[in-house]
Amino acid sequence: MTTNMAQDGSMFAVTAAKISLVFLIFPNLSYQDIGRIDLNGVWLASNGGGDINLNGTVPGCIHTDLMAAGRIGDPYFRFNDVAYRWVAKENWSYSRQFSVPEDLLKHKEIVLVCEGLDTVATVTVNGHNVGQSNNMFRRYTFDIKPVLQSGVNTIQVTFQSAIKYAAEKNMSHAEYMVPPDCPPAVQKGECHPNFIRKEQCSFSWDWGPAFATQGIWKNISIQAYDSAVIRDVHVTPKKGDGKTTLWLIDVTVYMDVSKAAKPPITGLVSAQLQGFPTLFVKNNVKLKSPSDRLTLTLNVSSQFKVESWWPAGYGKQMLYKVGVTFVSTDTGEVSAKLVKTGLRTVELVQEPIKGSPGLSFYFKINNVPIFLKGSNWIPVDAFKNRITTAYTRYLLQSAVDANMNTLRVWGGGIYEHDDVYDIADELGIMIWQDFMFACAMYPVDDDFLGNVREEIQQQVVRIGNHPSVIAWSGNNENEAALAANWYGTDNTTQLHALYREDYVKLYVNVTMATVWSLDKSRPNITSSPSNGKETEKENWVAKNPYDHHYGDVHYYNYVSDCWDWTKFPKTRFASEYGFQSWPSFHTLKKVSTADDWTLDSDFNDHRQHHQDGDVQMLDQAKFHFALPTGDDPVQQYEDSIYLSQVVQAMCIKTQTEFYRRSRSEIIGGKGHTMGALYWQLNDIWQGPTWSSLEYGGRWKMLQYYAAKFFAPVMTVIFEDGEQLKVYVVSDLTTKLSQVNLQVQVWTWSSFKPLKSWAKTFDMEGSSASMIFNQTTAEFLKDAKCTKREACFITSGLLDSKQKPYGPTNSYFLTPLKSALGLAKVNVTVSKITLLPDAPKPGAPNALQVELKTTGPAPFVWLDSGDVEGRFSDNGFLMNVDTLALQFYPLQSVKAPDFEKEVRVLSLMDIYRK
């Protein structure tokens, strides 16, 4: 059936010729369908009682509409999340009028296309019920032809409180409980999010508030046609034989077919790879069912000079557009869509490893094994309409700037906006995509499963075009919850068997079966964490889903000293691990008042959504530091914020370095770690959380540390019993040759090392290797360092031209609270100059900040005050007397204005008494 025009060169059919001409002449042809009425814009929003009426924004949500109308203040301010609980308990409706030209009514088919309704709603047009929704992750298409009239029409979308709906659904599920009922009290959340297909964390999480929004959160429009329209296009490239065929690109076209036009409908479907006019495929089709689908295959033969898509750090991010058109034979009606794709292969390798029980767990992109470095992504805001493309880009760019190549879109949030995947494609960020189920059991009645099936199908098709997406994963921690009885699901054998059966039904038989039927081009995993293939063998619920010999692991431990690497699991793949810190005082100030700025304030307590979170942060700090001292409680609050960021950065540094240096070795049957994704990249609001980027985008100290511990080539210093060891880690695919490792011993009282050790070596790419191995005691003795408490170690690399290569690293031989000779020093900004260049075309000019210090200083922290932007480095150990750094402002700033704002602090400054 499928003819590849590029190969057979035969004559086009008349309609196809017209189309191909359009392609050739207008390569940027707009692929928007004609016959559309856009309904986005200002609507009337009203509550159920009808006593509140205000302008509503579409796309948008009720909370931001109420805020814009002055009915409520900033929902993130102080205790407003609790004060505005009533908003989510009301039912809200959105209505508007729109006008329909007589002409439009002549079309055989007229549908209302709702890209996203949040969540439980009834839609009426001119008072007639046209459809219902109960899943915010689905697109709904309702037939409105019978009720539409020429001239003025009215549409109303009546939402029901998501919280009340979830509670009712739980009540009516009488046969057995589907736990958990409610989140822990500390989260100040709402109950039973598992009973509604809505962003699970909108009912609260341990890092976020409960704002169970209502509204039309995505585009809404009317579409009229006579024969059939392309609803979706799903492009999945497969590698060809490599000789005559480079790639086979499957283009699956999902058609909505008019019932009124009395199918079958005949027409011509064609697909083309843009930029390659002769790379074209067409297919005569006979569409029968109301939602028909067909697949064309673009055969990219070796004559076409296409390039592969690569993750950041491995090559270019080449993207191609595939244009698809449908032309109806009878009416000549055209429907067209343009989608972006990239050409790459992805493989999840799970095979035996010599010397280790279990299986490997690592990703290969274009056949290259890649260590996945990065973090976990949560929803960017409780109110999605506040998220701009620019801010999304800023967050993702921050990830790349910190040398990340992967983010996991976590399963308790949303299937992200197109922006996230588009920008990830452009920047080379690989996405581990969870399906939206997290930390709960779920009901599995037929309605629920049918709803989920539709959701999965739509999301796989939408998200699955993106080369950045490298894996589908069924849920967050639900296998673990079942295996380890988090929710009392194994108190009787029968109940436990039932919960297991429900689990398999939902994730294996519905979710993964749907994925598998649509997309075999990327790996699928049923849960995170899981044991991968071993989980499958154990009937999808492994005895221990955290087994270090299989799959991925989540690991949190706030009790042990986090500088002790022996406490961390030597796993194949660490997909979650983390520690909390407070966001900067600047960020907190925006949502608080002066009364709130103490550690024991109600506000500070209110924003902590994790049980004992503050105690854990301070206890972890106490392993290595004295807590801040001073008479001013506000100052102490600020100092504690700083210290919490130091502790978080050091903990995650230690753990991540352990994972990176474990990539090439098996010790005690464990190792070959090939992934480190810490929890969590971004924040949904201003509060103490595990994030490295604050709400608003400010970099915490951890984000600066990530740039170094994720650097492509880096060194790691650690002690293994009596031995002091330095590993060199390289993610480069090429060999390191004639590189020089320097290891130095320092005291706190001099800018000169006591001892320098150096060695020139070669090392294979994609590996970690021990280059330095000496007894700590002997090495310090050689350096004439009499007590380990008095010294610290640094390491760094020089390239073959003796230039610094990669970041320098440091290692404290002792908790800094017991360091000898560590004194209060004076770190000051000596000069600020506006640089002639911008870091990037179009960006504001950078500033140069020169620092000087009267002695070695740990954790030097530059604070840009109210000027938004970031430094080239921060939180560093300063063991030279002068240093120059750059500051990259978000908006242009003059040197004298910046000088007024900038502050510098180092560890000993927080001891003010």
Ligand X SMILES: *[C@@H]1O[C@H](CO)[C@@H](O)[C@H](O)[C@H]1NC(C)=O
Report in angstroms how near the CB of residue 552 gets to ligand X at its nearest.
12
CA-closest candidate to residue 13, choices 252, 265, 282, 227: 282
* Number of other CB atoms surrounding residue 54 within 10 Å: 16
CA 784, 790, 792 angle in degrees (round to 5)?
Answer: 85
Report in angstroms how near the CB of residue 538 gets to ligand X at its nearest.
13
- Establish if 48 lies at the interface with ligand X (CB under 6 A): yes
Please identify which residue in the block is written with the tokens 């046609």: 225
- Establish if 160 lies at the interface with ligand X (CB under 6 A): yes
- Establish if 357 lies at the interface with ligand X (CB under 6 A): no
Stretch that binds ligand X, among 99-107, 511-519, 561-569, 627-635 (CB under 6 A): 511-519
Indicate if 576 belongs to the active site: yes
Nearer to ligand X, 171 or 513 (CB): 513
Euclidean distance between CA atoms 411 and 24, whole angstroms:
42
What is the helix (H) or strand (E) element at residue 324, kind and residue range? strand 320-328
Q: Using CB under 6 A, pick the residue from 91, 278, 284, 808 that binds ligand X.
A: 91
CA-closest candidate to residue 692, choices 654, 652, 661: 652
* Number of other CB atoms surrounding residue 329 within 10 Å: 16
Sites for ligand X among residues 609-628 (CB under 6 A)? none
Stretch that binds ligand X, among 13-21, 521-529, 655-663, 839-847 (CB under 6 A): 521-529
CA-closest candidate to residue 193, choices 270, 267, 119, 280: 119
What angle in degrees, to the nearest 10, is found between the helix axes of 633-661 and 613-622?
70
Sites for ligand X among residues 530-549 (CB under 6 A)? 532, 536
- Establish if 491 lies at the interface with ligand X (CB under 6 A): yes
- Establish if 40 lies at the interface with ligand X (CB under 6 A): no
Report in angstroms how near the CB of residue 43 gets to ligand X at its nearest.
9
Dihedral sign of CA atoms 69, 72, 76, 78 in order: positive
Nearer to ligand X, 166 or 287 (CB): 166
| Chain-centroid distance, C-alpha 240 | 31
Residues 6 or more apart from 622 whose CB is under 8 A from it? Answer: none
- Establish if 512 lies at the interface with ligand X (CB under 6 A): yes
- Establish if 525 lies at the interface with ligand X (CB under 6 A): yes
Q: Please identify the residue of the shown chain whose CB is closest to the bound ligand X.
A: 48
Stretch that binds ligand X, among 477-485, 510-518, 594-602, 897-905 (CB under 6 A): 510-518
- Establish if 665 lies at the interface with ligand X (CB under 6 A): no
Report in angstroms how near the CB of residue 110 gets to ligand X at its nearest.
26
What is the helix (H) or strand (E) element at residue 353, kind and residue range? strand 352-353
Nearer to ligand X, 53 or 593 (CB): 53
- Establish if 505 lies at the interface with ligand X (CB under 6 A): yes
Stretch that binds ligand X, among 286-294, 354-362, 520-528, 884-892 (CB under 6 A): 520-528
Catalytic residue among 576, 638, 657, 694: 576
Cβ(155)–Cβ(123) under 8 Å? yes
3-state secondary structure of 664: coil
- Establish if 504 lies at the interface with ligand X (CB under 6 A): yes
Report in angstroms how near the CB of residue 495 gets to ligand X at its nearest.
6
Beta strands in 211-302 (DSSP E): 215-216, 220-225, 228-239, 245-257, 265-273, 280-287, 291-301
- Establish if 509 lies at the interface with ligand X (CB under 6 A): yes
Stretch that binds ligand X, among 19-27, 509-517, 543-551, 630-638 (CB under 6 A): 509-517
Report in angstroms how near the CB of residue 153 gets to ligand X at its nearest.
18
Euclidean distance between CA atoms 608 and 585, whole angstroms:
15
Amino acid sitting at position 397: Q
- Residue 86, judged by CB atoms within 10 A of its CB (0-12, 13-18, 19+), counts as exposed
CA 842, 847, 849 angle in degrees (round to 5)?
Answer: 160
Report in angstroms how near the CB of residue 52 gets to ligand X at its nearest.
12
Report in angstroms how near the CB of residue 59 gets to ligand X at its nearest.
15
Sites for ligand X among residues 805-834 (CB under 6 A)? 826, 828
- Establish if 524 lies at the interface with ligand X (CB under 6 A): yes
* Number of other CB atoms surrounding residue 25 within 10 Å: 8
- Establish if 186 lies at the interface with ligand X (CB under 6 A): no
- Residue 781, judged by CB atoms within 10 A of its CB (0-12, 13-18, 19+), counts as exposed
- Establish if 488 lies at the interface with ligand X (CB under 6 A): yes
Stretch that binds ligand X, among 284-292, 385-393, 524-532, 682-690 (CB under 6 A): 524-532
Sites for ligand X among residues 721-740 (CB under 6 A)? 723
Map residues 329-348 to x or -, x wherever contact with ligand X holds by CB under 6 A: -------------------x
Nearer to ligand X, 330 or 881 (CB): 881
Report in angstroms how near the CB of residue 544 gets to ligand X at its nearest.
18
- Establish if 250 lies at the interface with ligand X (CB under 6 A): no
- Establish if 124 lies at the interface with ligand X (CB under 6 A): no
The number of helix segments (H) and strand segments (E) in the chain equals 20, 51
Report in angstroms how near the CB of residue 64 gets to ligand X at its nearest.
13
Residue 815 tokens read as 């908790």
- Establish if 167 lies at the interface with ligand X (CB under 6 A): no
CA 747, 751, 753 angle in degrees (round to 5)?
Answer: 55
What is the helix (H) or strand (E) element at residue 399, kind and residue range? helix 389-401
Cβ(680)–Cβ(626) under 8 Å? no
DSSP 826-889: -EEEEEEEE-SS-SSTTSPPPEEEEEEESS-EEEEEEE-TT--EEESS-SEEE-SSEEEEEEEE
What is the helix (H) or strand (E) element at residue 431, kind and residue range? strand 430-434
DSSP 483-548: HTTTTSTTSSHHHHHHHHHHHIIIIIIIIIHHHHHH--SS-EESSBS--THHHHHTTTS-S-TT-T
- Establish if 179 lies at the interface with ligand X (CB under 6 A): yes
Q: Using CB under 6 A, pick the residue from 37, 147, 177, 820 that binds ligand X.
A: 177
Catalytic residue among 199, 477, 638, 657: 477
- Establish if 633 lies at the interface with ligand X (CB under 6 A): no
Nearer to ligand X, 524 or 692 (CB): 524
Please identify which residue in the block is written with the tokens 């380890």: 484
Nearer to ligand X, 278 or 723 (CB): 723
Cβ(913)–Cβ(635) under 8 Å? no
What is the helix (H) or strand (E) element at residue 708, kind and residue range? helix 701-709
Nearer to ligand X, 84 or 579 (CB): 84
Nearer to ligand X, 108 or 725 (CB): 725
- Establish if 776 lies at the interface with ligand X (CB under 6 A): no
Indicate if 764 belongs to the active site: no
Report in angstroms how near the CB of residue 501 gets to ligand X at its nearest.
4
Nearer to ligand X, 143 or 490 (CB): 490
Nearer to ligand X, 250 or 536 (CB): 536
- Establish if 42 lies at the interface with ligand X (CB under 6 A): yes
Please identify which residue in the block is written with the tokens 């991968």: 532
Residue 753: cis peptide before it, omega within 30 degrees of 0: no
* Number of other CB atoms surrounding residue 624 within 10 Å: 20
Report in angstroms how near the CB of residue 260 gets to ligand X at its nearest.
32
Residues in contact with ligand X, counted by CB under 6 A, come to a total of: 30
Stretch that binds ligand X, among 273-281, 373-381, 506-514, 795-803 (CB under 6 A): 506-514
- Establish if 55 lies at the interface with ligand X (CB under 6 A): yes
Report in angstroms how near the CB of residue 854 gets to ligand X at its nearest.
7
Catalytically annotated residues: 477, 576
List interacting residues with ligand X (CB under 6 A).
Answer: 42, 48, 55, 90-91, 160-161, 177, 179, 348, 488, 491, 495, 501, 504-505, 509, 512-513, 516, 523-525, 532, 536, 723, 770, 773, 826, 828
